[in-house]
Amino acid sequence: MSDGVITGALATVSMEPFPSPQARKAALVQLLMILDEGAYKSGGVMTTSTIREFFEKLENELKEASVPPDSEFAVKFSHPALSSIREAIRALRGLEVGDKPHKAFVRQKLGSAALSLDQANQDDWLLEQVDEVKVRKGYQNRSKAEAEVAASLRKVGIERKGKTITAKKLADLRWRRDRRNIEKNPRVTFSDKSVD
């Protein structure tokens, strides 16, 4: 990191127009340490207030980084990312004081939820295992990886919704996730995905 540099963790401003990769990496590590400190104080328990505090720390660091250390003036233009973080902070404060929930916290789709968030996370984890085995073993398609992951899960007794996870189930989960992604983003077409 260059000398005479610090306003906030990310404000590794040097006299050069572009900070070195080492300066950027050091700044990012410093920022992560500041954010980790907040997570450590909360014991890693996620509540509305701990999420709000996380965003507030992030906002402060980004604001400090956007003002050169020798400047007497605040930055006069609005950063879209900072505006989004500020809105998230306001929405979380609203939840804490019992206001009507911000539109970001209301259900986006009508009808019953197909999957709980925990189940969706487990499904993502299962698909990541398949991808990892496919890459590590150098398989040409996912079917071998799905069979291997299913066998490993059976061996250790991991189930999905109380049922044994089969290779066919893993293939079905991937198919459903790909369909949902296409529905969310109409520009994604079948040809954009790997087919195997």
- The secondary structure of the chain, three-state, reads CCCCCCCCCCCCCCCCCCCCHHHHHHHHHHHHHHHHHHHHHCCCCCCHHHHHHHHHHHHHHHHHHHCCCCCCCCCCCCCHHHHHHHHHHHHHHHHHHCCCCCHHHCCCCCCCCCCCHHHHHHHHHHHHHHHHHHHHHCCCCHHHHHHHHHHHHHHHCCEECCEECCHHHHHHHHHHHHHHHHHHCCCCCHHHCCCC
Write down the pTM of the prediction: 0.46
The residues of the chain scoring below 50 in pLDDT are: 1-7, 12-16, 111-112, 191-196
The predicted structure's pLDDT at residue 51: 86
The predicted structure's pLDDT at residue 134: 92
The predicted structure's pLDDT at residue 165: 92
